[in-house]
Chains A and B, each alone.
Chain A
Amino acid sequence: MDYFLTEEQQMIVDIARQIADDKIIPVRAELDEKEEFATEILNDIAQADLFGLYIPEEYGGFGGSCFEIVLALEQFGRGCVAIATSFAASALGAYPVLLSGSEEMKQKYMPDVASGKKKAAFALTEANAGSDASGIQTTAVLDGDEWVLNGTKQWITNAGKAQIYSVVAITDRSKGARGASMFVVEDTDPGFSCGPKEKKMGIRASATCELIFKNCRIPKDRLIGREGMGFITVMKTLDLSRPGIAILGVGLGQAALDEAVTYAKQRVQFGKPIISFQAIQHMLADMAIEVEAARALVYGAAKHIASHPKDMSKASSMCKVFATDMAMKVTTDAVQVLGGYGYMREYPVEKMMRDAKILQIYEGTNQIQRNVIGQELNKEYTKKI
């Protein structure tokens, strides 16, 4: 389907597609097998100017919106969700600074993020604070001209690979949700370190580790925005970033569909290509419908969010749930279409199925997204009635 992209948007798609086809797809299986971070490919993405897509021109970026980054992420997701996640997590780490940071802070950090010279990461989750962020234990205490951070963050994407970390810490526990703040921590700050690499089911070429803060001292001006604004910044960040996760589902679903149709045309059983069996045809048809429906919803939501409306959350959550549930189903069906060959690592669909699962979990589980959508509906209809 033609979505009538502008010439510039089409350029972004073309470049990202070429990176996926020429650089990512030939090595994705090997990187997955070796659980190796795709440093070179991220450098290729940087060289192609795509790290700056969503960053304003005054900070060295392209000045696009969350729709432009969605276009690039769709192609990367088609190539490999692990590599796409590493790319997306840098944006996730940069959004808090862009949304709530001071002018000086943006000047200081954004040009290097836009050029891809430095990567960012976003650190909210802890062992006892997953869906429920109120369980955060990490604290930040002002001591003279420095904040002192203590605590441990868990499962942080790009840990050890990023130079800039947007970290949530409690600054005043008595204030509840208004007692959390966000800080920029640099990889070289004293008292900061990363834990060992987690062993994961999928997206194995992405880096996921703990962040450990032991009397980690950072200058006072590393506070992002004002004290107590931490959760507000987190919510705004996730509203902006979720279409990016949603579109990874679309890219991944498309990749699985491509593999399944190609295979079904070639595989002969009972004297016929299996695509001639209606059971297979209907499965492929459903996959195609669902991928396209998800794409249309994510593009729509991303464009809505790019217009800076007040009501971002519902659209953001809806597209995340729909597209990532779709990716799980479509990749599972792709394995079914390929049968036993689909289950073998020799073919790419088993990795796609393993990679799909994370999309339903991170950046807020799909249950939590449904909670958000339900609450928003409740609010909307209270106003109407």
Chain B
Amino acid sequence: MNIIVCIKQVPDAKDVRLDPKTNTMAREGVESIMNPFDRHALEEAVRLKEQHGGTVTVVSMGPPQAETVLREAVACGADEAVLVSDRAFAGADTWATTYTLGKAIVKNGPFDLIICGKQAIDGDTAQVGPGLAKRLNIPYVSYVRKITGFDGGALSLQRLMDDGYDEVEIPLPGLLTVVKEINEPRVPSLKGKMKAKSLSLKTLNAEDIGADPDSIGLPGSTTQVVKVFSPEFKGERAMLEGTVDEQVEQLVNKLGTYL
């Protein structure tokens, strides 16, 4: 089974701050990490490879620094890494991102399965996985919490729902997005780290993937971020007095004003 794992480099969640003046994310001095959900996507891909053979290729669209997370992925079991990078990709929204990733994946060669994280912890839209499947015209299942079987042509899965899980099947080639419950990611291995150090990454730019300049980056993005802000913290407190019945009545009255 040849598997593609989409990996996004994101700022470490512990450090996320917004610049109050510009309303943009303060990226300076913030450490970049592999999107946590993508670790689980990678682990599942490596486990599938260990069981059924094949290869795992990690793909990331991002600035040259995204190389770090790709090498980390190789240390954790990926075989190949593709960095999709070009100044022209900057400012991409999910629409442009799925276009670009789709083109890059097709350019890279045939695959059986694509695995994405459920969502990125910075953008948080959870749109890239399903959008990418649509771009490639393949089926997808999101929120996968367990892979229960593989019969050579299709995967049996459990999809996490609010009130339990669905059992679903997906024919390959297809795409999954995974939740954290799916596995416990491994730490890098010594052999993996040595390989990651010496492996030459494949780099693809806009021209390499044959991208239409109007479909990538800012020009290709249909959404625009108009304003980003931290909600103001309102720490109002009120103490209710009286008997329990009186307090309940006061509470109901107070809550009523919010309905």
Contact = CB atoms under 8 A, between A and B. Distances in A.
Contacts, number: 35
Contacts of B192: 49
Interface stretch (A7-15, A198-206, A208-216): A7-15
A49 B187 contact: no
Interface stretch (A18-26, A102-110, A372-380): A18-26
Interface residues of A, number: 17
Contact of A23 (B187, B194, B197): B187
A62 B190 contact: yes
Interface string A9-46: 00110110011001100000000000000000000100
Interface in A290-345: none
Nearest to A8: B194
- Main SS class of interface, A: helix
A49 B186 contact: no
Tell me what chain B mostly uses at the interface: helix, strand, loop, or mixed. Answer: helix
B180 interface: no
A47 interface: yes
B187 A44 contact: yes
B191 interface: yes
Nearest to A23: B187
* Max chain B Cβ within 10 angstroms of own Cβ: one of A19, A44, A49, A50: A49
B190 A18 contact: no
B190 A12 contact: yes
Interface string B168-189: 0000000000000000001111
22 contacts: A7-B197, A8-B194, A14-B193, A15-B188, A15-B190, A18-B187, A18-B188, A22-B187, A23-B187, A44-B186, A47-B186, A47-B187, A47-B189, A48-B186, A48-B187, A48-B188, A48-B189, A49-B189, A49-B190, A49-B191, A50-B190, A53-B190
Interface of A: 7-8, 11-12, 14-15, 18-19, 22-23, 44, 47-50, 53, 62
Given A12-B190, A49-B190, 16 more contacts: A8-B194, A11-B190, A11-B194, A14-B188, A15-B190, A19-B187, A22-B187, A23-B187, A44-B186, A44-B187, A47-B186, A47-B189, A49-B192, A50-B190, A53-B190, A62-B190
